[in-house]
Structure 1
Amino acid sequence: MAIEPGTKAPDISLRDQHGQTVTLADFRGEKNVVLLFYPFAFTGVCTGELCALRDELPTFANDDVQLLAVSNDSPFALRVFAEQEGLDYPLLSDFWPHGEASRAYGVFDEEKGCAVRGTFIIDKEGVVRWTVVNALPEARDLNDYVTALGAL
């Protein structure tokens, strides 16, 4: 069961595609966070979603908002994926301990061994304000994110 709006966001600390540690708490008091979980790099729907975010990046990565995309891939795979697709925002690795962050947010599919498509809008105080979870084959609608961010 995914974390519901109104819940304090679990703090996570993961390595990005450059090997740097990114901690959710680092943005507290500074920025709202779009925390997006996706199954795997290099797959059709995931690539489409992440490239759509890339194309609208000023909406999701600016002085007020930070985009963090999390998958169960290794940081090394994420680096190649980011370079190949021109993704210039943090891709975080929930590879080891495998799925720990995805489980904390209730979006890890134990049978498939990966995160499902869960997105959480977290306000500057660290509270989840909006959540959407889609089945693996279903892409999310970026306009929903924009609406949720506008409501903060």
Structure 2
Amino acid sequence: MAVPQGSLAPDFELKDQHGVPVRLSGLRGRRVVLVFFPLAFSGVCTSELAALSSARLPAEVLAVSVDSVFTQRAWADQEHFSFPLLSDFWPHGQVARAYGVFDEERGFALRGTFILDGDGVIQWSIVNPISQPRDVADYLKALS
């Protein structure tokens, strides 16, 4: 079960596609859109993250998957994503588990999105099945 709205978002530190550590609590004071996605280079994930990249949301966007830093770097370079891709590679899926969006059978995250306010409190969230893409318009509406 996903972390409920009104809860303090579990803190974490993961490396981005450049190997730079990103700590969620280091973004306090800013709104954050935390997006979990199954796997880099897949069709639905590519289209979702491309839409996020071009949407220019009024918040910091962090995208998280179990892919390695190296895989995420190749994908980010290919697709020109404008936000950090964070590697939840090891311990495998630990952050996705903390947010209640890890698919234990398949070994990767569901399509979970969490919008956090400047205090790190979850204001809005959605979890879609792996085959169902999310709509960026929903994020814009939640952020307005």
- What is the TM-score normalised by the length of structure 1? 0.93
Question: Do residues 113 (structure 1) and 111 (structure 2) align?
Answer: no
- Which ranges in structure 1 are unaligned for 5 or more consecutive residues? none
Percent identical pairs in the alignment equals 55
Give the partner amino acid of 2:37: Y
Alpha-carbon shift at residue 73 of structure 1 (Å): 0.1
C-alpha deviations, 1:85-142, integer Å up to 9, x for none? 1112100000000000000000000000000000000000110000100000000011
The DSSP-based 3-state class of the residue aligned with 1:119 is: strand
The DSSP-based 3-state class of the residue aligned with 2:57 is: helix
Distance 1:66 1:146 in 2: 13
Alpha-carbon shift at residue 82 of structure 1 (Å): 0.2
Give the partner amino acid of 1:129: Q
Match of 1:68 in 2: 62
Distance 1:47 1:97 in 2: 24
Question: Do residues 52 (structure 1) and 54 (structure 2) align?
Answer: no
Distance 1:59 1:128 in 2: 17
Give the partner amino acid of 2:125: T
Q: For the aligned residues, what is the CA RMSD? A: 0.7
Question: Do residues 94 (structure 1) and 88 (structure 2) align?
Answer: yes
Match of 2:39 in 1: 40
Distance 1:34 1:111 in 2: 26
- Which ranges in structure 2 are unaligned for 5 or more consecutive residues? none
Distance 1:2 1:98 in 2: 18
Distance 2:82 2:19 in 1: 14
Match of 2:23 in 1: 23
Distance 1:102 1:114 in 2: 8
